[in-house]
Amino acid sequence: MSKILTTVLMIMILFFSLFIGFTPNTHASGPIVLKAVIFVPLNDIEGKGLFMLADILKKNSNGALIIKVIGGPEAIRSFDQFEAARKGIVDIMMGPEAWFAASVTKVPTFYLSEITPQEERERGVYQLRREIFAKHNIYFLGEGKMGGNFYFWLKEPIDKPQGMAGKKIRVSPYYVPFMKALGASPVVLPPPEVYTALERGVVDGFGWPVSGIIDQRWQEVCKYVIGHGVWNTALPIMMNLDTYKKIPQNLQKILDDSMIEAEKVIGDFWKEEYQHEWKRVLDAGVTRIEFSPEDAKYYVDLAYSSSWADLIKNIQPPELGPKLKKLLTK
């Protein structure tokens, strides 16, 4: 009888141990570590948002859920990071939509948003994005950067938008429809080649946010900037969907709530940082070009109308274009 009782007791202890081991809140096997990559080197300010999320998540989960940023382009080439997250080679990535839109919606969409991440959540934009990316085994977490605009930086000044006609402008996919509408010639170049291209006259200017200009030393070879900003400097944070589903539900909620908290902190950070960067740029001798009110309106309106026209023409599935325009426009 004692042997039977001993056996039953051992089975009960084993079952209890297994049960505890699968309890979501347990720390017996250590924290869940999510490997992440960013599209810029680790010390680049453009990647700041992911590190902010990591800090907030670690605090909110009491160390049960950790984001470990393992590297930037030196770890996985920037253009390959979305695919690495999709396949589960890494768990999380943050980078410009322009680099992975071709495999998802065919054209970028995030940069055309005129509303805040909070408003996007309220309008159902986040839910729509999650449905879109789920088809690619990706879970859209949130925005790692927001609130800024893109600007066009020139070697020589112009006084009207029409002055862009004939100029060779370094572009990313975001800028192509707008540059064509202005009569400029888009030139695709990776960022590390921009300085030399400006120096040698391969391009007459480039599109870029105000952040990063001084760090890249581009103000040395480009002394003018059109001071009318367009679009939105979105940097989405994406996660492998399979990995997200494997995380215990209580930690999923903590992760999602941490992203909401992080977006507010990130927004405040960049609002202050943009002011700081403008001071650095202007102090370095860059002249800000201001068009007349009529020309400024024409310029900004054309940036959006040309971009939306291209999106609606090329986006897949086609019905997504008008839906996004309605949701993302103020």
> For position 227, which CATH number holds?
3.40.190.170
Q: Is 88 left (phi over 0), alpha (psi -120 to 50) or beta?
A: left
Instruction: Indicate if 241 and 135 belong to the same structural domain.
Output: yes
Instruction: Answer whether 111's CB lies under 8 Å from 120's CB.
Output: no
Instruction: Indicate if 214 and 181 belong to the same structural domain.
Output: yes
Picking from 57, 63, 119, 121, the residue whose alpha carbon sits closest to that of residue 92 is 57
Residue 10 forms part of a structural domain: no
Instruction: Indicate if 201 and 226 belong to the same structural domain.
Output: yes
pLDDT attached to residue 98:
85
| Sheet hosting strand 168-171, strand order edge to edge | 185-188, 168-171, 205-208, 150-154, 224-230, 287-289
Instruction: Indicate if 44 and 97 belong to the same structural domain.
Output: yes
State if pTM tops 0.75.
yes
d(CA 325, CA 308): 8
Instruction: Indicate if 218 and 307 belong to the same structural domain.
Output: yes
Residue 139 one-letter amino acid: Y
Residue 25 forms part of a structural domain: no
pLDDT attached to residue 302:
98
The secondary structure element, H or E, covering residue 48 is: helix 48-60
Residue 20 forms part of a structural domain: no
Residue 42 forms part of a structural domain: yes
Q: Which domain holds residue 56?
A: 31-146+234-273
Instruction: Indicate if 63 and 127 belong to the same structural domain.
Output: yes
pLDDT attached to residue 288:
98
d(CA 40, CA 178): 26
pLDDT attached to residue 14:
34
pLDDT attached to residue 5:
40
Instruction: Indicate if 168 and 114 belong to the same structural domain.
Output: no
Residue 4 forms part of a structural domain: no
pLDDT attached to residue 212:
85
Instruction: Indicate if 100 and 118 belong to the same structural domain.
Output: yes
Write out the chain's pLDDT in tens, 330 residues.
444 443 333 334 333 333 333 333 334 478 999 999 999 889 888 899 999 999 999 999 999 999 999 999 999 998 899 999 999 999 999 999 988 999 999 999 999 999 999 999 999 999 999 999 999 999 999 999 988 999 999 999 999 999 999 999 999 888 999 999 999 999 988 788 999 999 999 999 999 999 889 988 999 999 999 999 999 999 999 999 999 999 999 999 999 999 999 999 999 999 999 999 999 999 999 999 999 999 999 999 999 999 999 999 999 999 999 999 999 999
Residue 2 forms part of a structural domain: no
Instruction: Answer whether 288's CB lies under 8 Å from 227's CB.
Output: yes
Q: What is the pLDDT of residues 282-305, one digit of tens each?
A: 999 999 999 999 999 999 999 999
Instruction: Indicate if 135 and 185 belong to the same structural domain.
Output: no
pLDDT attached to residue 12:
40
pLDDT attached to residue 22:
34
Indicate the number of domains in the chain.
Answer: 2
Residue 22 forms part of a structural domain: no
Instruction: Indicate if 39 and 84 belong to the same structural domain.
Output: yes
pLDDT attached to residue 3:
42
Q: Taking the C-alpha atoms of 313, 314, 317 and 322 in order, what is their torsion angle to the nearest 10 degrees?
A: -40
Residue 290 one-letter amino acid: E
Residue 46 one-letter amino acid: E
Instruction: Indicate if 105 and 164 belong to the same structural domain.
Output: no
Residue 105 forms part of a structural domain: yes
What values do phi and psi take at 174, rounded to 5? -55, -40
Instruction: Indicate if 165 and 202 belong to the same structural domain.
Output: yes
